Structure 1
Amino acid sequence: MLITRVRPSWFMASAMALWSIVSTVTGLTKDFKGLLLTRFFLGITEAPFYPGALYLLGIFYTRKEIATRISILFTANICGTAFAGLIAIGVFQMDQVAGLSGWRWLFILQGIISFIVSVSSAFLLPDQPLDTRWLSEEERKLAQSRVAADTVQLQANTSTWAGLSEAIRDPRLWVLVTMQHLHLSASGYKNFFPTIVETLGFGRNVTLALTCPPYIISGIATISWAASSGHFNERVWHITIAKAVAVFGFVLACSTLNVGARYFAMCTFASGVYACNSIILGWVSSTCGQTREKKAVSLALVNTIATIGSIYTPYLWPESDAPRYTTAMLSSAAFSVAAAVMAWILRWMLMNENRRLLRTGNHTTLLFSY
């Protein structure tokens, strides 16, 4: 809600600067209480960034373009996860430098680098199409008008509270919230991925290195699948197929102890899960974007409520289930199937809405995409 009333560039930069400071302080904590507090504030300061980034992309790109752009943003996150293990191998070599443990240096260095990037982003990020510095006057008007022309049931911008009211009264949003929640619940493995890879039986450094390829493959799959979705202006079948791939990977992972087969399964379910994320979020932006305020609130609600799964999914990974982690793998498969079902429910809702629009409009009426 706040991002529609302040400069998005400063909003994003401030959020990033704050979490950079908290990350650095995490490396200097002295006890469990301090670690718990910094982790709490890290979550608070990180929370505005992703919805804010999605909103900023949503006011610049059309329905056919948005999923690919979100996938590029999300792939940066995937790459960060992919190379985290390799970076950790190097940073852990700094153990006891200046009397600090390797894990402390990891937080300190991450915080310092992120802070430098946050300062530069305040001057590099645009705020909205009409005041983007590196575009000509004609290009600014085009950037503004083409997104407006691509928005179904476009309305004049309103107050933040009206945007909140419109969002929570839109049943389509709650289907999208449920879909994204199930999707993120299926991706609960990401916090345990090094542990899953460790069950292959390799040493620490090899295990950390082996966490990298599945994420690189997932990043390629994410961008390619989002580009395909945008090219065909289609979402439901792309989500369904990706979830089918994920289900196959989850079932295979808990069905065998063969090292090669299990590593292949890890690459498969990671690719299937991640390929959906940008498509779902792009769908939120295009379906609930009648006003900027509604779009911002919708993206925030989807991201906030969807992450509730991170509260209960860790309990699906007890150490006693190693190495197959059958409960977690089959639960993730079930979450994936349920997410695909929600996509088909939303398709049915949008088809009905399109029929209503055609009855009340004409052959040039802009329709919802699914």
Structure 2
Amino acid sequence: MALDNKPPESQKLQGAADSMLATKPEGNESSVDDQADISSEEDFSDVDEKKVLRKMDLRLIPMLALLYLLSFLDRGNIGNARIEGLEKDLNLRGSQYNWCYSFQYPIEETEAINLYGRISPLHLCSRGANASGQDLPSIMIAWGTVMTLMGLVKNYKGLLIARIFLGVAEAGLYPGCAYYITMWYCSKEGQLRQALFFSAASIAGAFSGLLAFAIAKMHGVGGLEGWRWIFILEGLATVLVAIMAFFTIYDFPETASFFTERERAFVIHRLKPKLSSGIRGRNRNLLEYSLINASVLGYRLPAVPVYCTAAIIAIGSAWVADKRGQRSPFILFYMSCMAIGFIICIASAGRGLPGVVYAGVFIAVCGLYPAFPGNITWLSSNLAGSYKRATGMAIQIGIGNLSGAMASNFYRPGDAPKYYTGHGLQLAFVTTGIISVLILRFSYQRINKKRDLEGTGDLSEQQLADMGDKSPGFRYSL
């Protein structure tokens, strides 16, 4: 169970955080947080780093993955409910279903930007007790309650209003979880954990249809249609997990009871630079990061083999990327795979080659899942300071996820069976994302070279720390 009191030693370490932000990192991964051990004279050779990481992995990642799995499950189960008769029973006409499906996304992501761009960073940067650990299960209870009540709607207006409230309730979950990971792990370890967490969506996508099919067999129980039971039972499951999460999610390393005192000091030591709130200036290149997100988040296919394969590739690729300390080459490769997949779909559509079309879709989805956690980790590595990182990640994810609202209308029934419009729009998005990756990499390379030549001048360590990622001593991750 998470502890509520902030230990005295973390207050002492907090004061040293800002001065360490100016440290120039070595190696490929250039975010400052990985190099805390280089700039400190404190010796932690007696601490087994691998053992500490295993502790964190076992205590943090499974619960975060479960939260996101349920979120993804609840968000997408309206499609399964439609198959089981929702549209007919609520007498939906024309584009009313599409409005109910897609209207959640702009509400959700706008609210996410508001939450993590203004409120949560204040709490997270002050690192008060229960600032993050208790927020996540609270979010779960809110959306689980809305999901349960959605099983009682009587008409289009009721369904639309419920979806709006679901978007508001779910808004902070993904940005919150993604940011929460950055407050425990260094950037050199971040992508693997982001991939493990994000891959929960693959599991939900693979098996949500089977689960909904089984639940729908309750049609007539209590006088309710089967699709209503999908909402009710999945919503109740979310609430139950949320209650459990209050006792299993830890706030921050300094309040984690599963560490020994020495391990706790070591983890805080590794993350000292991340404890600083940093400068609140303009976040560089957020548009490009958001476009990359938009290009990889707009495609969904309920096929078990595809999602299971994509999850394995995402985790394996993240492991390699962390070892190499590189982000953009992997993102570029997998986005190119997505582009190839959609080109195959376009070239083979309507030619009586369903196997080839499926292969194209398979390749596209297998490129999607490794690219997304890579992009999230890349941004978090290149924003120094808690405030900027929290705000930047919220904006990145928020704007990027708006593609979900658009993508739901890409594949229109009238375009069957070729779906040239849908495949073409997806290809255009991916192409835009590839260009954005190249712009970011070349921009960062130019800035890093310029800073290598100019040096830090006569600026003090505190001045360099206050500048965050704009410091001449900071090097952007490539």
Q: TM > 0.5 between the two?
A: yes
Matching residue of 1:225: 317
Matching residue of 2:170: 46
Q: Work out whether 1:174 is the aligned partner of 2:266.
A: no
In structure 2, give the amino acid aligned to 1:322: A
* Alignment check: 8 A CA contact 1:3 1:11 kept: no
Q: Work out whether 1:156 is the aligned partner of 2:276.
A: yes
Matching residue of 2:424: 330
Matching residue of 2:441: 347
Identity over aligned residues, as a percent? 27
Matching residue of 2:343: 251
* Alignment check: 8 A CA contact 2:146 2:162 kept: yes
* Alignment check: 8 A CA contact 2:288 2:433 kept: no
Matching residue of 1:147: 271
- Matched residues in 2 for 1:172 and 1:135: separation? 37
Q: Secondary structure at the match of 1:338?
A: helix
- Matched residues in 2 for 1:20 and 1:127: separation? 22
- Matched residues in 2 for 1:285 and 1:88: separation? 36
Shift of 1:361: 4.2
Alignment of 1:1-370 (within 5 A): 1=116, 2-4=119-121, 5=123, 7-148=131-272, 156-157=276-277, 163=280, 166=281, 169-184=282-297, 188-190=298-300, 193-194=301-302, 211-256=303-348, 257-288=352-383, 290-358=384-452, 359-361=454-456, 367-370=475-478
> If you compute each CA radius of gyration, which structure gives the higher value, 1 or 2?
2
* Alignment check: 8 A CA contact 2:217 2:226 kept: yes
In structure 2, give the amino acid aligned to 1:181: A
Shift of 1:254: 2.8
- The CA deviation string for residues 340-368 of structure 1, in whole angstroms up to 9 with x for no partner, is 21111111221122224333149xx6632
- Matched residues in 1 for 2:406 and 2:207: separation? 27
- Matched residues in 2 for 1:368 and 1:291: separation? 14
* Alignment check: 8 A CA contact 1:255 1:324 kept: no
Q: Which runs of 5+ in 1 are unaligned?
A: 195-210
* Alignment check: 8 A CA contact 2:283 2:392 kept: no
- Matched residues in 1 for 2:230 and 2:338: separation? 32
- The CA deviation string for residues 140-172 of structure 1, in whole angstroms up to 9 with x for no partner, is 2221221335x6xxx8326xxx74xx2xx1222
- The CA deviation string for residues 210-229 of structure 1, in whole angstroms up to 9 with x for no partner, is x2111111111111111121
**Worse overlay, 4-13 or 42-51:** 4-13
- The CA deviation string for residues 306-354 of structure 1, in whole angstroms up to 9 with x for no partner, is 1222333333222121112111112212211221211111112211222
Aligned length: 336
Q: Secondary structure at the match of 2:330?
A: helix
- The CA deviation string for residues 243-294 of structure 1, in whole angstroms up to 9 with x for no partner, is 1211121122232232322222222111011220000001111111x22111
Q: CA distance change for structure 1 residues 172 and 147 in 2, over 3 Å: closer, same or farther?
A: farther
- Matched residues in 2 for 1:121 and 1:170: separation? 33
- Matched residues in 1 for 2:269 and 2:285: separation? 25
Q: Secondary structure at the match of 2:134?
A: helix
- The CA deviation string for residues 67-126 of structure 1, in whole angstroms up to 9 with x for no partner, is 111111111111111100111221121111111111111111111111111111122112
- Matched residues in 1 for 2:474 and 2:267: separation? 18
Report the structure, 1 or 2, having the larger helix content: 1
